[in-house]
Amino acid sequence: MSPLRRGALGASVALLLACSGTVAPVAGMLKVNLASPNNGVDGAVLLVLSAPVPPVSVSAGSGLTLWGGPVTAAHTTLVLTGNVTTGTLLTLQVDDINKVRQYSVALQQVAQTSGYQLESLAGYSVTVTK
């Protein structure tokens, strides 16, 4: 191959790589955060975690106990018990934090600490953040 063709081929490959827009995976932690209108009154939450691939690990937030692990499927039902307050419910160790938008959590039920009466889900929200 002539030096001119090698140079043109090298420039073409470099241009393709520069224009691909791909970002290398970055392993790290994602947080599942709860906003509760009944802060400190809740004692249990039932939620469904949806992920592009199962997280490497899932840990309960401070003062909470996680039931339903280990997470081995893309859609997993989990229960957290303890003093459920506004803040981080779960920490997810994932292979690529750049896919944060592909992770979601659906809140299914919330129960009070005293007597475990079910709460209305009005006013609650759950988000997944970096």
What mean pLDDT is reported for the chain?
Answer: 88
- 9-13, 34-38, 71-75, 85-89: lowest mean pLDDT where? 9-13
Q: Which domains does the chain have, with CATH numbers?
A: 24-129 (2.60.40)
- 15-29, 33-47, 115-129: lowest mean pLDDT where? 15-29
Q: What is the CB neighbour count within 10 angstroms for residue 28?
A: 14
pLDDT band at 6 (very low <50, low <70, confident <90, very high): low
pLDDT at residue number 107: 97
pLDDT at residue number 41: 93
pLDDT band at 120 (very low <50, low <70, confident <90, very high): very high
For residue 100, which of 38, 3, 25 has the smallest C-alpha distance?
25
Q: 99 with 27: CB under 8 angstroms? A: no
Which bin fits 122, alpha (ψ -120 to 50), beta or left (φ > 0)? beta
For residue 65, which of 49, 37, 43 has the smallest C-alpha distance?
43
pLDDT over threshold 80, residue 100: yes
Average pLDDT over residues 79-98: 96
14-37 pLDDT, tens digit per residue, is 555 555 566 799 999 999 999 999
pLDDT over threshold 90, residue 88: yes
For residue 92, which of 109, 74, 115 has the smallest C-alpha distance?
74
